[in-house]
């Protein structure tokens, strides 16, 4: 991989942060291209982060980096791996614990799903079952199963500003800060890593918009700077569902098998964004967030 000139490094950075649990499909690549275009068009650097918090499933990093390079992406520093940053996450948990913001939780997923919750609570929100356990109750439950650690939130919702969606208010609950197997979860790691890497612009798929309020709230508790969000339209299959591996020829490898090379795929992505074919640098000259198509792109796999 050849890094592009760091002409953008004066105004923060944007990033792409895939989980290496499978080959990137066209939807992932389109989001990566958009993240690069947003960053470069705003004078930012562009970074890559490998979100490999689950080492057992993280086996496709090399293939993902190869495919990103093949469609013309470049980044300004070596990729950062979350699996190498556990100390940062634990330090953040210690900071929150010192402020009285952490408590032990012994609930299983099924117990959380079956627990009664307030009428206005969104599906999946933690109902606070373990929030006010006594020390005696915690000691007894520790004998049965290890505890996860949860955030003691003091708000039920939080508002973020998004370049494409405007002000968005979403729910906040007592999110997990450390799983009971000792692994930090995505919502904590992404907040810590963005701040540590100087990332002040987060461009990602629209399905993650509802995660932004709880992440921004967590960042505020840790005294970390707010980021600029842009949640971009998803790529759908012919049935109108989010693109997934079961949809056939949707990765570079699979598309190459039916005669489409990486240049063809990049040009297809650029056409879906109403941008000229060719290099990403050429597309950058014509890119404007205001002109970005707001609807989902339907990708009918030719395979």
Phi, psi of 218 (to 5 degrees): -60, -45
pTM of the model as a whole = 0.91
Name the binding residues.
15-19, 51, 105, 107, 126, 130, 186, 204, 245
Query: Across residues 39-60, what is the average pLDDT?
Result: 89
Chain CA centroid to CA 168, Å: 17
Residue 283 lies in a domain: no
Q: What's the whole-number average pLDDT of the chain?
A: 91
Question: Which CATH number is 266's domain given?
Answer: 3.40.50.620
Answer yes or no: is pLDDT of 118 > 80. no
Name the binding residues for Zn(2+).
105, 107, 126, 130
Name the binding residues for L-glutamate.
15-19, 51, 186, 204
Answer yes or no: is pLDDT of 213 > 60. yes
Name the binding residues for ATP.
245
Same-domain check for residues 7 and 41: yes
Instruction: Summarize pLDDT for 151-197 with one digit per residue, the tens.
Output: 999 999 999 999 999 999 999 999 999 999 999 999 999 999 999 99
State which residues form the domain around 113. Answer: 85-235
Bridge partners of 102, per DSSP, are 151
Q: How many domains does the chain have?
A: 2
Same-domain check for residues 91 and 56: no
> In whole angstroms, what is the distance from residue 232 CA to residue 235 CA?
10
Which residues, other chains included, contact 241 with Cβ-Cβ below 8 Å and sequence gap of 6+? none
Query: Across residues 278-291, what is the average pLDDT?
Result: 96
Same-domain check for residues 17 and 121: no
Instruction: Summarize pLDDT for 88-100 with one digit per residue, the tens.
Output: 999 999 999 999 9
Same-domain check for residues 94 and 189: yes
> In whole angstroms, what is the distance from residue 188 CA to residue 202 CA?
15
């Amino acid at each position: 991989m050849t890094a592009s000139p760091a002409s953008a490094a004066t105004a923060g950075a944007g990033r792409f942060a895939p989980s290496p649990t499978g080959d990137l499909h066209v939807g992932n690549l389109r989001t990566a291209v958009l993240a690069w275009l947003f960053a470069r068009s705003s004078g930012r650097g562009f970074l890559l982060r490998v979100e490999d918090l689950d080492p057992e499933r993280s086996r496709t990093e090399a293939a993902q980096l190869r495919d990103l390079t093949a469609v013309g992406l470049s980044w300004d520093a070596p990729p950062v791996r979350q699996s190498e940053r556990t100390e940062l996450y634990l330090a953040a948990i210690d900071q929150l614990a010192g402020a009285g913001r952490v408590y032990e939780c012994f609930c299983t997923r099924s117990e959380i799903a079956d627990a009664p919750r307030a009428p206005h609570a969104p599906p999946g929100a933690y109902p606070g079952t373990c929030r006010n356990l006594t020390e005696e109750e915690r000691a007894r439950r520790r004998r049965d199963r290890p505890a996860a650690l949860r955030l003691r939130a003091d708000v039920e919702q939080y508002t973020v500003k998004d370049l494409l969606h405007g002000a968005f208010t979403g729910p906040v609950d007592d999110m997990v800060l450390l799983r009971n197997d000792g692994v930090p979860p995505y919502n904590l790691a992404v907040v810590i890593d963005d701040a540590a890497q100087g990332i002040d612009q987060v461009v990602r798929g629209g399905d993650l918009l509802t995660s932004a309020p709880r992440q921004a709230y967590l960042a505020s508790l840790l005294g970390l700077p707010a980021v600029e969000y842009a949640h971009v339209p998803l790529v759908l299959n012919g049935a109108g569902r989010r693109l997934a591996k079961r949809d056939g020829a949707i990765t570079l490898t699979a598309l190459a098998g039916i005669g489409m090379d990486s240049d063809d795929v990049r040009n297809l992505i650029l056409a879906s964004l109403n941008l000229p074919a060719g290099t990403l640098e050429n597309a950058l000259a014509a890119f404007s967030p205001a002109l970005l198509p707001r609807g989902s792109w339907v990708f009918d796999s030719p395979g």
